[in-house]
Structure 1
Amino acid sequence: MKKLSARRRHPLAALVVLLFALAATGGLYAAFAPVDEAKADQQSNQSLAIKEGKKLYDVGCSSCHGSQGQGTSDGPSLVGVGAAAVDFQVGTGRMPAQQPGAQAPKKPKVYSQAEIDQLAAYIASLGPGPAIPTEEQYDPSGADIAKGGELFRTNCAQCHNFTGEGGALTHGKFAPDLEGVTPKHIYEAMQTGPQNMPSFPDSVLTETDKKDIIAYVKTVNSDEAKTPGGFKLGGLGPVSEGLFAWVFGLGAMVVLAVWVAARTAKARKS
């Protein structure tokens, strides 16, 4: 006790206590105050984005989708579709649609990416839905291309054909060609199910599965991709290849057989 009492009476004891208190106060402030400020700034920016997105929506979207995104006879409800659906539809130029039809085709986009983000923020505020994916989620670097091919043939080839060349559907609808589509938009399409496409949430295709599919699509549509069997016949799969074999292959064999028979008959006459 005497030693402790002596230390308390040391001339530098008050200074040490003061420095310790200042360090603790500074540490607590650094740990909590900046987070609160950053959160407040983020909320302020989000509110501003929603406000600006509402202005853009009123001008370019409300005539078809309703003043509050509730939908009309000319356009479906946007409540709960999420920011990812907006980023895909508007980012690929499908929306705003030029005219009513069975399906909105891809075309040059009307809005800048900043405006698309604002529209997405407003639509996301109407109801929960898939968010815009981060680059880490859709980057196919290091993905399993072979597994992606299996998943693509199981879930996608029925409409998009075996290498993503696209194909016709019923009543004027179609599955678009996937060549040149960005990884982000492919991921968003799987997540949200645009047009006539079914959605593939993470409970159906995991984030890793989506990366594998993206890697496969980008690989088979790259300039370096080679077709071991020769001309790929549009990449439409065994139907077109089999038809080619029957029409041209079998036809060539028939012509060859007729030629051989004619030569044989001529030789016998001689």
Structure 2
Amino acid sequence: MFSSQKSGSSAQGKKKRGRRSPLATFSLIVVGLLTTGGAYALFTSTASADSGTTATATAATSQSQVNEGQKLFNANCASCHNMEGSGTKAGPSLIGVGAAAVDFQVGTGRMPAAANGPQALQKPVQFSNTQIQAMAAYVASLGTGPAEPSSKYLQANGNAAKGAELFRVNCAMCHNVAGAGGALTDGKFAPPLKGVTSKHIYEAMLTGPQNMPVFNDLNIKPQEKADIITYLKYLEKNPSPGGFELGNLGPVSEGLFIWIFGLGAIVAITVWLTAKSN
């Protein structure tokens, strides 16, 4: 009996020694939280440092580009547009025109203008693409304006049929239904659109250069602009199936052709028949 009590007390002692203290569970939870929290803090601080470095590098690059653009602007544009881009009697203010206007005007050679006239004429481009981007960045820093378009709208892979409809409604009265251009008043004209890059077509709609109205994204949505570009590029790749295009200038040029050559041929045949009968 004594041995039985001894073995029972020994089992109870082992049971007491094997029981986990309530503080142990609490300690494990605290250690787990500290470990997880420390790892998360380390990760987020590293990510923040990386993103901060990237943002700082981007800001430095942008500011460097703006500074370079300002130098180019002061040397080539300030005589007409003023040092601050606020404009003079010789040139309008550029505050708020945005990067898209600069990329179009300088990228097509219209600016710097060779001389004052009804409108700036297209000529060979005088600057590299890097310089144009720098000037665009500087002018964009003067005031909020249209940015350069996203490349996804410049691929000419939209709806050509819808683009043709939009072009006829909004553009054909000046540029001709085939984009061949046309004369306006006071020595002005709508230029032909054949060979114009997709980017410059989009920027022209966005900024309204020369005598062209502005078609912002509320008037013609970005995808609709892409459809118009698709239509114009379709015309470039697919020649007219109707024979001689005669410049695609429409009924005026066609009527003139008939008047000169058609009527001239009739007169020549009449004279020949008369001469033969005599």
Question: Which runs of 5 or more structure 2 residues have no equivalent in the other structure?
Answer: 1-18
Q: What is the CA-CA distance between 1:129 and the residue it aligns to? A: 0.5
Deviations 1:189-215 (A, max 9, x none): 100011111110000000011001111
The aligned amino acid for 1:43 is A
Matches of 1:244 and 1:4, distance apart in 2: 105
The aligned amino acid for 2:179 is G
Q: What is the CA-CA distance between 1:22 and the residue it aligns to? A: 4.2
- Among 78, 92, 99, which residue is 1:62 paired with? 78
Question: Which runs of 5 or more structure 1 residues have no equivalent in the other structure?
Answer: none
- When the two chains are superposed, the root-mean-square deviation of aligned CA atoms in Å is 2.9
Q: How does 1:146-165 map to 2 (within 5 A)?
A: 146-165=161-180
1:116 and 2:132 aligned: yes
Which residue in 2 is equivalent to 1:233? 246
Deviations 1:147-182 (A, max 9, x none): 111111111111111211112211221111111111
Matches of 1:138 and 1:156, distance apart in 2: 18
Q: What is the CA-CA distance between 1:84 and the residue it aligns to? A: 0.5
Matches of 2:218 and 2:246, distance apart in 1: 35
1:36 and 2:52 aligned: yes
Matches of 2:267 and 2:165, distance apart in 1: 37
Q: Secondary structure at the match of 2:156?
A: coil
Task: Give the TM-score of the pair, scaled to structure 1.
Answer: 0.83
1:163·1:221 contact (CA, 8 Å) conserved in 2? no
Deviations 1:88-110 (A, max 9, x none): 10111111111111111111111
The more displaced of 226-235 and 95-104 is 226-235
Q: What is the CA-CA distance between 1:237 and the residue it aligns to? A: 2.7
**Identity across aligned pairs (percent)?**
50
Distance 1:27 1:227, change over 3 A: same
Matches of 1:203 and 1:233, distance apart in 2: 36
Distance 1:109 1:4, change over 3 A: farther
Q: What is the CA-CA distance between 1:7 and the residue it aligns to? A: 4.7
Tell me the matched-pair count: 256
Which residue in 2 is equivalent to 1:195? 210
Q: How does 1:152-191 map to 2 (within 5 A)?
A: 152-191=167-206
Matches of 1:4 and 1:255, distance apart in 2: 120
